[in-house]
Amino acid sequence: LQLETDLRLALKRQELLLYYQPIIDLKTGQIAGFEALVRWQHPRRGFVLPGEFIPVAEGTGSIVPMGAWVLEEACRQLQQWHERWKSLGLIPPNRERGEGVGGSAPFLTMSVNVAGVQFGNPGLVDYIDQILQQTGLSGSCLKLEITETAIMAAAESAASLLHQLKKRQIQLSIDDFGTGYSSLSRLQRLPIDTLKIDRSFVSRMSSEAESLEIVRTCIDLAHNLDMDVVAEGVETLEQLAQLRALQCESGQGYLFSRPVDATTATALWMSMP
> Among Na ion, ligand G, Mn ion, none, what does residue 135 contact (CB within 5–8 Å per kind)?
none
Contact between 145 and Mn ion per CB under 5 A: yes
Q: Give 74 or 137: the residue with its C-beta nearer to Na ion.
A: 74
> Least distance to Mn ion from the beta carbon of 50, Å?
10
Please report how close the Cβ of residue 213 comes to ligand G at its closest, in angstroms.
Answer: 21
Among the listed residues 98, 129, 254, 267, the single contact to ligand G using CB under 6 A: 254
Residues 6+ apart with CB under 8 A from 73: 18, 36
In sign, the C-alpha dihedral spanning 139, 140, 142, 143 is: positive
- The region of 44-52, 123-131, 134-142, 155-163 touching ligand G under the rule CB under 6 A is 44-52
Residues 6 or more apart whose CB falls under 8 angstroms from that of 24 comprise 30, 31, 32, 250, 251, 252, 256
238 binds ligand G, rule: CB under 6 A: no
Least distance between ligand G and beta carbon 273 (Å): 22
- Determine the Cα angle at 241 with ends 109 and 212, to 5°: 95
The option from Na ion, ligand G, Mn ion, none interacting with 49 (CB < 5 to 8 A, set by class) reads ligand G
Q: Binder to ligand G among 219, 231, 253, 269 (CB under 6 A)?
A: 253
DSSP state of 30: -
Residue nearest to ligand G (CB): 253
Q: Scanning residues 118 to 177, which ones bind ligand G (CB under 6 A)?
A: 175-176
Q: What distance in Å separates the CA atoms of residue 232 and residue 35, rounded to the nearest whole number?
A: 11
Residue 16 and residue 74 in contact, taking contact as beta carbons nearer than 8 Å: no
Query: Looking at the DSSP assignment, which residues form a beta bridge with residue 46?
Result: 42
Q: Judged by CB under 6 A, which stretch of 207-215, 237-245, 249-257, 260-268 contacts ligand G?
A: 249-257
Interaction between residue 148 and Mn ion (CB under 5 A): no
The answer to whether 22 and 270 are in contact (CB under 8 A) is no
- Which of 90-101 are b and which e, b meaning 16 or more Cβ less than 10 Å from the residue's Cβ? eeeeebebeebe
Nearer of residues 148 and 175 to Mn ion, judged by Cβ: 175
Q: How many residues bind ligand G (CB under 6 A)?
A: 22
